[in-house]
Chains A and B, each alone.
Chain A
Amino acid sequence: MFQLINTLLIGITSGAIYALMALSIVLVWRSTRVINFAQAGQALTSTFIGFQTLKYVDSFWIALLVAMIGGAIISALIEISLMRVLLKHSSSGAIAGVAPIIATLGLLEVIQAVITLIWGGADSIITPPLSNTGFTIGTNTLVFSPMKLAIIGIVAALLILLSLIVQKTSIGLSLRAAAFSPELARLAGVRVDAVRTMGWALSGATGAVAGLLLVANGNGSFSTASIEFSLLLISGFIAAVIGGLESLLGAVIGGLALGIITAFVLMYISDSLFFIAPFVILLLVLFIRPQGILGKKGGRRA
């Protein structure tokens, strides 16, 4: 019984983090129709920014905030410099459709190399702000710990904040309009280019939180070579696809689904399937319901 609850809790916690990554991917996809593979690299950079902040300030939460701002700025800069140039130049040719993808891959490589250059390839440590020792009920120790509770709480709060912004504010309206019909939005006076940059900035901030929470969820050590970050790279994308790529809610559902299913697979089947499980889940989704859980039919051919 307790194993079931434990597995579920582990799944929800990692699922929450995947949901954040998926969110940042969907935010960029919705605003510029590009899958930003460099997103995980950006999240890692933001994590290092947080790490650097912790050298001057003792609070994890301040570091989180600084990382979010840093992530947003980096993302916005990338959009302004790289993406706009790309969209202007890419018109024809065999790889026109995938040129942005390849560009983001190149960017990922550059980011990883720059990080290793600045901070080195060995493990860096960020001490999680809360304890990761599980609560005890009777003689059983749950995996659930104050840290995990905090992670779920933070993600939930972020999600509520994000939906409020997107659904209820003028900025959110511009974001949605620019994503649905950029031309009509322009005719209504919306500064579509600035709005796109904002979409990227939001994505960068979300990615930063995902990166830091990922580290806090583990034992606090991380580096460019960490397995966790390789996983972050693909799990964000897979979660986004599972959810349907079209909606923020879908990203959340996709993330949670991926987290929970993977946790159960690892616990009950074999824990060496760490890397293969997400891939298999992705394949299953693409075969059974290609538009994802919340996606609309016919929107699959990007």
Chain B
Amino acid sequence: MTLHVENLTVHHGAIQALTQVSFDVKAGELTAVIGSNGAGKSTLLRTLSGLKSATTGTATWKGHNLLHGKAESHVRHGVAHVSEGKSVIPELSVEENLDLGALWRRNKSESAATKREVFDLFPRLEERRKQTTETLSGGERQMLAIGRALMSKPELLLLDEPSLGLAPLLVKQIFEAIVNVTKQYGLSVVLVEQNAMGALNIADSGIVLNLGSIATTGSAQALSSDPAVRAAYLGY
């Protein structure tokens, strides 16, 4: 088990946002986390990446304790978190946003190689490399955010609602990109999504969060054929 989460409980002040959440993600596995708003999905990712502190429980990535230490230290252990909404720094150029992800890396030629790979994956970013992010469309911004995450040489990718606010065609492209990237780099991925159908389509396994606790887990196929899940999250 490379990502191991056990009895994770997280509070927002007095409110319990996550209650006794336990799950595992294998190497190279893409796990979708679905649930309605306020279910605690974002909180889960923010706790795993180190932005939020947990109350009790454990979470480790390849043995490294994710609940202890600052977010920037987890990056050095292979954790990359693409946050929801504002996920790029608008005042910096496209290229600077990418370079930011690789700043901690010692080997500059390897970083340059990664940047080349990112540009190959997302050619539109290369076209706009010197521009500020204000000129980017929503889809391009998401690609940039994912690109920045890739620049930090991740092994575990935490994605928070990458399809949020995107037109259906772009949603398809983003999901395809996620699949490509996962395969190309052999990443483990935790994909939080409102778009439950799209997420389950590309995932290996899934978790359904409801009001901070896990309602169901299973393979992506099993979940998408589960009538209760279909009724609640897939709309049919």
Contacts and interface: CB of A to CB of B under 8 A. Distances in A.
A187 B71 contact: yes
Given A189-B72, A190-B72, A184 B103 contact: no
Interface of A: 170, 173-174, 176-177, 180-181, 183-193
Contacts of A170: 99, 103
B104 A189 contact: yes
Interface stretch (B1-9, B27-35, B82-90, B225-233): B82-90
Contact of A191 (B72, B86, B90): B72
B75 A188 contact: yes
Given A173-B96, A189-B152, A184 B89 contact: yes
A191 B86 CA distance: 20
Contacts of A186: 50-51, 70-72, 75
Interface of B: 49-51, 70-72, 75-76, 80-83, 86-92, 96, 99-101, 103-104, 148, 152
Chain B contact residues: over half helix, strand or loop, or mixed? loop
Given A173-B100, A188-B152, 14 more contacts: A173-B92, A173-B99, A173-B103, A174-B100, A176-B91, A183-B71, A184-B86, A185-B89, A186-B70, A187-B72, A188-B101, A189-B104, A190-B100, A190-B103
A146 to B, nearest CB: 41
B156 to A, nearest CB: 13
A88 to B, nearest CB: 13
A189 B91 contact: no
Contacts of A187: 49, 51, 71-72, 75, 80-83
Nearest to B96: A173
B96 A184 contact: no
B75 A177 contact: no
Contacts of B104: 189-190
B81 A177 contact: no
Contacts of A184: 83, 86-89
A199 B48 CA distance: 29
A187 B86 CA distance: 12
A187 B91 CA distance: 17
B86 to A, nearest CB: 8
A174 B89 CA distance: 12
Contacts of A183: 51, 71, 83
